[in-house]
Amino acid sequence: MQLYNKLSAKEREKLLEQAGEERLTLSFYQYAKIGNPHLFRNHLFITWHEQDVLGRIYVAHEGINAQLSVPAKRFIDFKQFLDGIYFLKDVRLNIAIEQDLKSFLKLKVKVRDKIVADGLNDATFDVTNIGTHVDALKFNELIDDPNVVLVDMRNHYESEIGHFKNAITPDVDTFRDSLDIIENNLKDYKEDKKLVMYCTGGIRCEKASAYYKHKGFKNVFQLEGGIIEYARQVENQGLENKFIGKNFVFDHRRGERITDDVISHCHQCGEPCDTHTNCANEACHLLFIQCEKCAVAMENCCSSECIEIIHLPEDEQKRLRQGIPNSNKIFKKGRSEKLKFKK
């Protein structure tokens, strides 16, 4: 019985290329009481490994948060498996706008304290008292209302490449950072303004809306299914698209284009660009925006120091990485003194 990956990302990538079969990138989440997350985790891994499902899944006592790549030919089997789990029956699946064979290269199912790291003490408020869910049509109507405050619940590197028009985009590194900052900045609007929020797929707004209602905001709304579902509804229903740019996603694609607008710039030369990449130096791995020209000139690195490191023998690179669990640059995405044009 296999409970963990045995193939490296490179080995899996080669197998995917050889197979050449269509895959679907999708995501879903569900808050539910899970008595034994470890047992549930193993159940998911065994089944999804057999179905050749790849992705990143977090399981906790409070529910599940999943981002997956599913073989198109196995989608019905995958859906039937979900429907066989009582709290996942007919769960909404956010299907990616842009598909990619290599969006995920491993199956990782991890047990966490929470399915989203929000830093909140759930015992202090009613997490089920969430805001009003709205679809794309109602969302468009709401954000045209001058009595509305529209807030992007994502991080700075996400909103930098795409966001809704006139949205407040907090300059934060993590979701937990944003909660108190937003509350403090909007404290004067608790009674008389409508608070409308959105995120990538909806999960961050679930907890945030309940938190803000607990903090005294009277009229709280959230975009059902997030940007992913909004883009789908806009296209299918012929609605006005009020999102501009790309939607950042947490897989190897790094983003999917919603409109042709390029609203960000290369962090190294300042030219218009909205392509995220990770520094080629494994000890750095900084996430930043880099244009094709700079990618060639900088050898896919964020700095001259990292270029020097990637040309060292592999054994020497490994030695330099020893004793460093994770570079702090990994967690300060897009923030480095080396990036001249980071806003």
> 302 an active-site residue?
no
Alpha-carbon distance of 282 to 19, in angstroms, equals: 28
The full DSSP string for 252-266 is TT--EESSS----B-
Specify the DSSP element, H or E, that contains 109: strand 107-111
Side-chain half-sphere CA neighbours of 187 within 13 A: 6
| Cβ–Cβ < 8 Å for 81, 13 | no
Q: Which residue has the tokens 């947490």?
A: 250
Tell me the two tokens of residue 195: 């608070």
Tell me 328's DSSP state: G
Alpha helices in 146-245 (DSSP H): 156-159, 175-185, 203-214, 226-237
Residue among 253, 331, 246 nearest 286 (CA): 331
Contacts of 27 (CB under 8 A, 6+ apart): 66, 67, 68, 93, 94, 96, 201, 228
- Residues belonging to the chain: 343
Residue among 173, 172, 168 nearest 196 (CA): 168
Q: In 10 A of CB 88, how many CB atoms?
A: 17
Cβ-in-10-Å burial (0-12, 13-18, 19+) of 323 comes to exposed
Alpha-carbon distance of 333 to 159, in angstroms, equals: 12
Alpha-carbon distance of 338 to 329, in angstroms, equals: 11
| Cβ–Cβ < 8 Å for 267, 288 | yes
> CA torsion angle for 208, 212, 214, 219 (degrees, to 10)?
-120
Catalytic residues: 199
